[in-house]
Chain A
Amino acid sequence: MTDTLKLSLDFKGLLCPMPVVKIAQAMKQVQVGESVEAVATDPGVMADIPAWARTSGNEVITLEKREKDIRFVVRRLK
């Protein structure tokens, strides 16, 4: 899983809709099958990243709420 990780991004401080906009832009920078990691502070991403993935047809591999932030990994599926 980790070997497909191609990009690591910092979304701290970003509010809706930017985490979703930035992750969509990041998807264009990697190949199908590769994944992108990001760290955010907006609690909204807990719901929005899975919703974005379902709508856009990508896969959430990890979505974890940590002490001070939220880390997630998504894989480009198409």
Chain B
Amino acid sequence: MAAQRDKLTLVVLSGDLDKVMASYIIATGAAAAGMDVVMFFTFWGLKAIQKGNLTGKSLFGRMLGAMNRGGLDAIGPSRLNMGGMGRWMFKLMMKQKGVTQLPELRDAAVALGVKMLPCQMSMDVMEITCDDLIPEAAEPVGVATMLEHAKESNIQFFI
């Protein structure tokens, strides 16, 4: 590598289907263009890299895990979800139009070398362990690591 590669850092705070989708589309697009891509998943965003199993240890932790199920199959759109109907409708409409589905988008991101960093503090609060995350996720990190990546990046997004 002669010159320093362009770099993109994405902070994914949202765990909604639409926003997670936008995040993975931006990430794959940038990686396809040869950029270094780092995604930092925090709070609701962790759902985008969760396997989808029930999580939590304490009473509140388990309640949160049940009511706020992670994983790409469980998340719904930020608007018009209507108890899951919106999710079903959007998924169907996207399928009909041939839009790439979320799991395939995430696989493409992994294949293109996108780094996926989980937020340690969010994992502690929400009682989500590394075992609850997909194996492609990197070791959990904190804000300083994210900021170091963001500082080295030409583009930073907060979604």
Contacts and interface: CB of A to CB of B under 8 A. Distances in A.
Interface of A: 13-18, 20-21, 23-25, 52, 55-57
B34 A20 contact: no
A52 B97 contact: no
Interface of B: 6, 25, 28-29, 31-35, 97-100, 105, 108, 111-112
Judged by DSSP, the binding face of A is helix
Nearest to B33: A55
A52 B25 contact: no
Contacts of A57: 34
A24 B98 contact: no
A17 B32 contact: yes
B35 A55 contact: yes
Contacts of B99: 15
A51 B54 CA distance: 42
A24 B34 contact: yes
A21 B32 contact: yes
A1 B130 CA distance: 51
